[in-house]
Structure 1
Amino acid sequence: MKNLKSVIFGTGIAVAILSMSCSDKVQKTTASGLNPTAFDTVINEKPIKLYTLKNAGNMEVCITNFGGRVVSIVVPDKNGTPTDVVLGYDNIAQYADSVNSPSDFGAAIGRYANRIKNGQITIDGKTTQLPTNNFGHCLHGGPSGWQYQVYDAKQLNDSTLELTMNSKDGDNNFPGNVTAVVTYTVKGDNSLDIKYTATTDKKTVVNMTNHSYFNLNGDPTKDIKNCLLYVNADNYTPTDTTYMTTGETAKVENTPMDFRKPTAIGKDVDNFGFAQIKGANGFDHNWCLNTYKDGKGDDTQVAASLYSPLTGIKLEVYTNEPGIQVYTGNFLNGTVKGKKGIAYDKQAGCCLETQKYPDSPNKTQWPSPILAPGQQYNSHCVFKFSVE
């Protein structure tokens, strides 16, 4: 018989943890070592599960519908050894506890990924005040953004999971009833294909992304400084001391922001002689992708890549979005313990977040995040893995 324990965490999320008694059958662990029963629970009266997607090439992706979070990605390394390449937790309790283990690990971020200045948006002359949760700005949809909400899940087949978010008008003060769908598909070429769509009944802003922290070394005790980063971008968007974009774009040429050739992250990630890196304590910036031209993104071209010489694993990123936020885990400090009890220290992972530019609602010179009734938001991101 299952025991039911109710827990209330800091965000006000009600969680019913279902703990298995000794007499219950223990479910087989995933290739990444996860026990699916550690994710079986109910949050805000909605069931939570761990979903496993696979292909014939020994790739496995595990996702929970709590926050639409990618919990693990297993791909073969250069020796054919199955290797988990993302950070995360091995139980739902840690994901749901935003006080003791706050994170965006692997989340399908919404409504608006990244920052909105002073938490204010103006649509058709009407200004709306959003909650502020990061240096006076609204970050990742606010303190109870979609990463801390429950998506309705439907596993379509062994390789595809469809997640739906029905976000009500006024959710974190954002206008409009929005229905957003995230479709994760593991494909035969060892890629994780992510499609986002959304509709609204009132003009609003939408900007979704995936917030996986990649460590292609396959060992989070080894930081990502050795990994080679490539970003197909001639420009980036500088930020002020509150991590907010200034509204200008700047050339990467002759700066530490130039990754137009694969370059070790560790070469300049701690180069505090460069004001942008000092201000962000590493890389935490949006690059303006060359793959986006004339209002359209080409998701057949490589937007960015990451490579570990240690494992030989290479990740290529494709997207139709205009920007990509590269974040090198600068706020990780060893206090958070993830899968297998490993403490995540600074630069234990690198995020590659395809997106609209930060604070686009307030900077009309940039691609617009406005979604109106009758329109459909469409965003596409592919994380493709291979071995070199």
Structure 2
Amino acid sequence: MNNLIWMLAIIAIVGGCTNKQKKVVEEEMTLSGLKKSNFQAIINGDSTNLYVLKNANGMEVCITNFGGRIVSVMVPDKDGEMKDVVLGFDSILGYTSVDNNFGATIGRYGNRIANGKITVAGVEYQLPKNNYGHTLHGGPNGFDKKVFKANQPDSQTVVLTCVSPDGEAGFPGNLNVKVTMKLTQDNAIDISYEAETDKETVVNLTNHSYFNLSGDPNNTILNELLTINADAYTPIDSTFMTTGKIEKVDGTPMDFRTPTPIGARINDDFEQLKNGKGYDHNWVLNTNGDISQVAATVYDQTTGIRLDVFTTEPGLQVYTGNFLDGTITGKKGVTYMKHSAICLESQKYPDSPNKPKWPSPYLKPGEKYSSRCIYKFSVQ
């Protein structure tokens, strides 16, 4: 009898430990199904982690300091069901083993620089080329591969900082960068960028999240309604480089001044769509840097989820996932196919360092680079 009592006691203790272990595992899991431990690694001597932001409405945003990336965004649909509306990976390994910019903070210079050449203070610099003979998103080793120092002052904010040393990726100047991502109470991700340099340089920071408002990347974004507050855009050549012209959207498939399905004209016989393999263009915003004006809106009629974009920047690059081709498997084992997401990147116009009439990307010592972009979610 005593032995039986002892056996029952041991079973109870072991069962209790197992339940505690299960509880720990459950506590590790985010609302979007991520485990923090899967994002904890040492990369180039620096530690990576997953930072979870939550607001009173139950919205959740997960961010890793590897590349300053937004990993998941959980928002309610019209039925109150939580949906993850950005593409990404379940672990840090996905981000390091596959060349990608999912959710990344892009720098030093977002978008393309022609032939990888810039002239700063009378000196010409050659940057590494990584895209059709041009430098794209800071080159092959841009900020998307940098481990930022991270500080989470409260449950709704993460502050990411890094130093890009003079000569890194060919750019001049020691650049001190600060990116603050805040989840607001009205379901917006408010991103503020700041930078200072000790030598004149060029800066153009942005975020490269891939959005799919259906909450299921098995669906394309072609039926989602897109509105862009812009009367003009910057055409590109067959290497995706801006030509230097600014053209009106009126009467072309580039006109999204009223809500239009993304796929309605994406296959039209139009040179710009052929050059971009779809939409991969910068729109010249009408907002004049006014953060209170909507720059663009995406709306999914099935889920009712709406995304409004606000920015202080003069341009917005809209990219419709034209190069996703089924070779990348992301969160929950979903294969990312063509047009399974849309990117909305606030920015100076592409190749601005080589186009003096366009908004200047130059930053001098004593000045502060400042940029802001808000991704606000709601149900329509």
Q: Give the letter for the 1:353 counterpart.
A: E
In the alignment, the residues of structure 2 paired with residue 155 and residue 61 of structure 1 have an alpha-carbon distance, to the nearest angstrom, of 13
Q: Which residue of 1 aligns with 2:191?
A: 194
Tell me whether 1:57 sits opposite 2:64 in the alignment: no
Q: Give the letter for the 1:283 counterpart.
A: Y
Match of 1:318 among 310, 319, 328: 310
Tell me whether 1:355 sits opposite 2:347 in the alignment: yes
In the alignment, the residues of structure 2 paired with residue 327 and residue 371 of structure 1 have an alpha-carbon distance, to the nearest angstrom, of 27
Q: Give the letter for the 1:61 counterpart.
A: V
In the alignment, the residues of structure 1 paired with residue 22 and residue 349 of structure 2 have an alpha-carbon distance, to the nearest angstrom, of 52
- Secondary structure of residue in 1 paired with 2:190: strand
Q: Give the letter for the 1:90 counterpart.
A: D
Identify, as 1 or 2, the structure richer in helix: 2
Q: Which residue of 2 aligns with 1:214?
A: 211
Match of 1:134 among 116, 131, 134: 131
Matches of residues 121-160 of structure 1 in structure 2 within 5 Å?
Answer: 121-160=118-157
Q: Which residue of 2 aligns with 1:43?
A: 43
Q: CA deviation at 1:102?
A: 1.6
Instruction: Give the TM-score, by structure 1 length.
Output: 0.91
In the alignment, the residues of structure 1 paired with residue 280 and residue 267 of structure 2 have an alpha-carbon distance, to the nearest angstrom, of 12
Cα deviation 1:154-190 (Å, max 9, x = unaligned): 0010000000011100110100000010000000000
Q: CA deviation at 1:23?
A: 11
Matches of residues 196-275 of structure 1 in structure 2 within 5 Å?
Answer: 196-271=193-268, 273-275=269-271
- Secondary structure of residue in 2 paired with 1:207: coil
Q: Which residue of 2 aligns with 1:307?
A: 299
In the alignment, the residues of structure 1 paired with residue 267 and residue 328 of structure 2 have an alpha-carbon distance, to the nearest angstrom, of 22
- Secondary structure of residue in 1 paired with 2:144: helix
Higher-Rg member (1/2): 2
In the alignment, the residues of structure 2 paired with residue 124 and residue 105 of structure 1 have an alpha-carbon distance, to the nearest angstrom, of 34
Q: Give the letter for the 2:100 counterpart.
A: S
In the alignment, the residues of structure 2 paired with residue 118 and residue 165 of structure 1 have an alpha-carbon distance, to the nearest angstrom, of 27
- Secondary structure of residue in 2 paired with 1:276: helix
Match of 2:278 among 274, 278, 282: 282
Q: Which residue of 2 aligns with 1:68?
A: 68
Cα deviation 1:273-330 (Å, max 9, x = unaligned): 10000111100000000001xxxx1000000010000100000000000000000000
Q: Give the letter for the 1:357 counterpart.
A: Y
Tell me whether 1:380 sits opposite 2:365 in the alignment: no
Instruction: Give the TM-score, by structure 2 length.
Output: 0.93
In the alignment, the residues of structure 1 paired with residue 138 and residue 34 of structure 2 have an alpha-carbon distance, to the nearest angstrom, of 29
In the alignment, the residues of structure 1 paired with residue 58 and residue 35 of structure 2 have an alpha-carbon distance, to the nearest angstrom, of 19
What is the alpha-carbon root mean square deviation over aligned residues?
1.2
Q: Which residue of 1 aligns with 2:165?
A: 168
- Secondary structure of residue in 2 paired with 1:253: coil
Cα deviation 1:187-243 (Å, max 9, x = unaligned): 000000000000000000000000000000100000000100000000000000000
Q: CA deviation at 1:94?
A: 1.2
Q: Which residue of 1 aligns with 2:336?
A: 344
Q: CA deviation at 1:25?
A: 5.2
Structure 1 23/52 Cα, relative in aligned 2: closer, same or farther at 3 Å?
closer
- Secondary structure of residue in 2 paired with 1:213: coil
In the alignment, the residues of structure 2 paired with residue 29 and residue 378 of structure 1 have an alpha-carbon distance, to the nearest angstrom, of 35
In the alignment, the residues of structure 1 paired with residue 102 and residue 43 of structure 2 have an alpha-carbon distance, to the nearest angstrom, of 18
In the alignment, the residues of structure 2 paired with residue 124 and residue 183 of structure 1 have an alpha-carbon distance, to the nearest angstrom, of 30
Structure 1 372/35 Cα, relative in aligned 2: closer, same or farther at 3 Å?
same
Q: Give the letter for the 1:349 counterpart.
A: A
Q: CA deviation at 1:24?
A: 12
Structure 1 24/142 Cα, relative in aligned 2: closer, same or farther at 3 Å?
farther
Matches of residues 179-190 of structure 1 in structure 2 within 5 Å?
Answer: 179-190=176-187
Match of 1:366 among 352, 358, 363: 358
Q: CA deviation at 1:124?
A: 2.0
Q: Give the letter for the 1:105 counterpart.
A: F
In the alignment, the residues of structure 2 paired with residue 171 and residue 57 of structure 1 have an alpha-carbon distance, to the nearest angstrom, of 41
In the alignment, the residues of structure 1 paired with residue 121 and residue 153 of structure 2 have an alpha-carbon distance, to the nearest angstrom, of 39
Q: CA deviation at 1:28?
A: 2.4
- Secondary structure of residue in 1 paired with 2:336: coil
In the alignment, the residues of structure 1 paired with residue 23 and residue 137 of structure 2 have an alpha-carbon distance, to the nearest angstrom, of 39
Structure 1 25/387 Cα, relative in aligned 2: closer, same or farther at 3 Å?
closer
Q: Which residue of 2 aligns with 1:10?
A: none
Cα deviation 1:321-357 (Å, max 9, x = unaligned): 0000000000000110000010000000000000000
- Secondary structure of residue in 1 paired with 2:317: strand
Q: Which residue of 1 aligns with 2:102?
A: 105
Structure 1 169/191 Cα, relative in aligned 2: closer, same or farther at 3 Å?
same
- Secondary structure of residue in 2 paired with 1:225: coil
Q: Which residue of 1 aligns with 2:95?
A: 95
- Secondary structure of residue in 1 paired with 2:115: helix
